[in-house]
Chain A
């Protein structure tokens, strides 16, 4: 592997980590928004 190949692999791994992290944050946000709506609705 060349240095450029290693750089690209690192970038790709960071992108995958970022995407997974974003998905976790989104699920957390959805949960909070749904709980908030239920509490506000008195349910």
Chain B
């Protein structure tokens, strides 16, 4: 929504003034996605510290802030580019740009400015490896996923999921300057988690996606094929999350959590596979559990990492 300032209308070019409030701009940053990014990045950082990284905690905290702002920036760029389809879809029609609270150009400007500031801040607080990875993450989400893959292929959220999976790698690199296999294992867990998470929701939203022409898997391949792929990714995720433990990611708490949570993930994915077409409840159960799964799995790593750091501090 814009208004013309009477002060500049006397024979001069009219100037559009935004009437958005700070809360509208904050909504552009996708705060819920940001909170997930902060959490997974924090786990990456703490696990890196527990693995022997030696960095200033103060600088690490500022790096974490830079990563979260970078995630918010890519959210703003996504909302700017997707405003046309967001306006049509029920789930997204109340976002700041489609509801007219923020002009599209301002959403784009906010995304670009915050991207630049977050990358610069991360370069200052950590190193160029982490800053480069953050720049790549923002570019991948805003350009590769939002502008290209999302409207072009049913593999959109599979490939695009890489952007959501990178924050723990960025965070690990921020405190070590390196991205060892443990960081990429965290990436792999989130990457494999993304398809069953989003497709479980997409099974309930086929009409929405059909209306805007976004080729989500259920719309392109049908419910049956989507459910089969959900099951395949769920097995790969659950087995993969357990398999990395003996190689040094996490301890006994993580092992128990990954086995128990993985078994439930596979059980619910199996229920989705066996559910009747049009049954929306079973996929939503999996969708809800998938959020709990990722949170609990990473919380187990966080708890063990903090315990190890505390033990080191006590016995040092």
Contact = CB atoms under 8 A, between A and B. Distances in A.
B22 to A, nearest CB: 4
B51 interface: no
B102 to A, nearest CB: 10
A14 B62 CA distance: 23
Contact of B56 (A14, A23, A33): A33
A33 B59 contact: yes
Interface in B245-290: none
A34 to B, nearest CB: 7
Interface in A2-43: 5, 8-9, 11-12, 14-15, 23, 26-27, 29-31, 33-34, 36-37
A3 B223 CA distance: 52
Given A1-B6, A23-B121, A33 B18 contact: no
A33 B126 CA distance: 11
Given A15-B25, A23-B117, A33-B58, A5 B19 contact: yes
A37 B54 CA distance: 11
B13 interface: no
Contact of B20 (A1, A12, A27, A31): A12
Contacts of A9: 17, 19
A2 to B, nearest CB: 8
Question: In this complex, which of A11, A23, A26 has the most chain B Cβ atoms within 10 angstroms of its Cβ?
Answer: A26
B52 interface: no
Nearest to B113: A19
A25 to B, nearest CB: 10
A30 B124 contact: yes
Contacts of A12: 18, 20-22, 25
Majority DSSP secondary structure for residues of B touching A? helix
Contacts of B25: 12, 15
A12 B101 CA distance: 13
Contacts, number: 47
Interface in B1-21: 3, 5-6, 17-21
B125 A30 contact: yes
A15 B22 contact: yes
A8 B3 contact: no
A19 B117 CA distance: 11
Contact of A27 (B3, B65, B124): B124
Nearest to B101: A8
B59 A8 contact: no
Given A9-B17, A11-B22, A12-B20, A30 B121 contact: yes
Contacts of B117: 23
Contact of A8 (B5, B6, B19): B19
Given A8-B20, A12-B18, A26 B121 contact: yes
Contacts of B5: 1
A26 B123 CA distance: 13
Contacts of A34: 59
15 contacts: A1-B3, A8-B21, A9-B17, A9-B19, A15-B22, A15-B25, A23-B117, A26-B62, A26-B121, A27-B121, A30-B121, A33-B62, A34-B59, A36-B56, A37-B59
Interface of A: 1, 5, 8-9, 11-12, 14-15, 23, 26-27, 29-31, 33-34, 36-37
